[in-house]
Amino acid sequence: MTKSYCINFFIGFLLTACTGSIRTDAVDFTQGFTDGNSKVWMVNKVLSPDGAYTMPEKLKKEVLVFYQSGGCFLTNLQKLSKGQGRKGRFALDHEKQQVTLYFLGETREFAFEFADDNNLMLYPLEGSQYTNAMELIPFPELTEH
């Protein structure tokens, strides 16, 4: 065997060995949305398609609850105490990092991004019935003043 043939064979073997045994698992974002049971997210900011953003008044802020079962609940802080709001379902596409919210008469489709454990961004997909992006934060801990 020639020296160059041995080197090429060794490099090929090395590359095969490095990539052949790597196991790639799909990422499951369910835990991020639900914390293993249910998680209450509050809409911190709403961004319109033209780039303007609003920060709703505290009691009018929307709340999204994601349940491990695949259910979701959309309401605002005023209605939350009465149990009023829109019940629906959500589906995650882990590979595409997309979430779809299904409510009676409305489907909201988003690409999502976790900036960290305390910040979830939802960006509307083309064709979604809801066109605003939303910044979600976990329901804040209430402190006494």
Neighbours of 128 (CB within 10 A): 18
- The pLDDT of residue 140 is 83
Residues 30-138: name the CATH superfamily. Answer: Domain of unknown function DUF4822 (2.40.128.540)
Domain boundaries of the chain, sorted by first residue: 30-138
- The pLDDT of residue 22 is 63
The secondary structure element, H or E, covering residue 79 is helix 77-80
- The pLDDT of residue 7 is 54
**Interval 55-67: pLDDT, tens:** 777 777 899 999 9
- Burial of 123 per CB tally in 10 Å (0-12, 13-18, 19+): middle
Find where tokens 């329901």 sit: 139
- The pLDDT of residue 110 is 98
| pTM of this structure | 0.77
Q: Roughly how many angstroms between the first and final C-alpha of the chain, as a whole number?
A: 81
Largest CA distance in the chain: 81
- State the chain's mean pLDDT as an integer: 84
pLDDT along the chain (145 residues), means of 10: 53 52 71 92 91 77 95 92 93 96 96 92 95 93 70
- The pLDDT of residue 21 is 57
- Burial of 99 per CB tally in 10 Å (0-12, 13-18, 19+): buried
